[in-house]
Structure 1
């Protein structure tokens, strides 16, 4: 069962996701989805999104998928490694859907994969990441200080 307390703390503290205007949905334990509409603030050129926006979308998706598992033990996660393959350009007005799934979960390390599609179902990026699980109180003690 997903620990809603950890997810609630994550949602409340994730200022980056709010800045990018990403919409989160937890699909099930070990799976998460983020959706983002590419706006002018996301652009690197007059028509194309910055790769960092796509990487941020993916990192968030992978991380929340991992969090749905790590959170069961009152843990949060941090990115240890992120591999992104950009397959197609992302343009102004595109609506991207990133779906991440935990492939392997140990006590401390979780391996997660994701795909990103646009509104036409075209795969625009693939990614994988490794995440470190650690006690939630460590992350949220930093916020209190």
Structure 2
């Protein structure tokens, strides 16, 4: 099943466009990273908040779908602590906090290559009845 889940999530075209690399996939957990390119900077010269959010969201999607059951995000909130800079490699770790048959809560931490905390996010998914891998 793990290979089927990894194959399914690796086909995400948005993650591919951003250059996201998948480092870890386990039940309820995922770790991904990407490099901040010049085209991802805002008018202050820092990583656009949407770039950081996108990486957190991709980790969230992978962790919540790691059971092979279709899980869709219903809410995400993010807190930014420090700016990401051009050339930084940022990493998002998503970990399951709570799960039941219909809902799952996940916490994401986003850090730079120095291990400095850039942001934290919490996300909730609704688990559909469909499975894409078993």
**Same fold per TM (> 0.5)?**
yes
Deviates more, 1:118-127 or 1:44-53: 44-53
Q: Distance in 2 between matches of 1:36 and 1:6?
A: 21
Superposed, 1:85-104 pairs within 5 Å as: 85-104=79-98
Say what the alpha-carbon RMSD is for the aligned residues.
1.5
Runs of 4+ in structure 1 deviating by more than 2 angstroms, as ranges, are 25-28
Per the alignment, in what secondary structure is the counterpart of residue 77 of structure 1?
Answer: strand
> Which position in structure 2 is the counterpart of 1:11?
10
> Which position in structure 1 is the counterpart of 2:33?
35
> Which position in structure 1 is the counterpart of 2:48?
50
Q: TM-score, normalised by structure 2?
A: 0.90
Q: Distance in 2 between matches of 1:47 and 1:79?
A: 30
Q: TM-score, normalised by structure 1?
A: 0.83
> Which position in structure 1 is the counterpart of 2:61?
63
Where does structure 2 lack aligned partners over 5 or more consecutive residues? none
Aligned residues: 131
**Cα pair distance change 1:136/1:28, threshold 3 Å:** closer
Q: Distance in 1 between matches of 2:113 and 2:8?
A: 30
Residue by residue over 1:88-116, the C-alpha shift from the partner in whole angstroms, topping out at 9 and shown as x without a partner, is: 01110111111110111111211000111
Q: Distance in 1 between matches of 2:26 and 2:8?
A: 18
Relative to total residues, which structure has the larger helix share, 1 or 2? 1
* Contact 1:30–1:101 (Cα < 8 Å) also in 2: yes
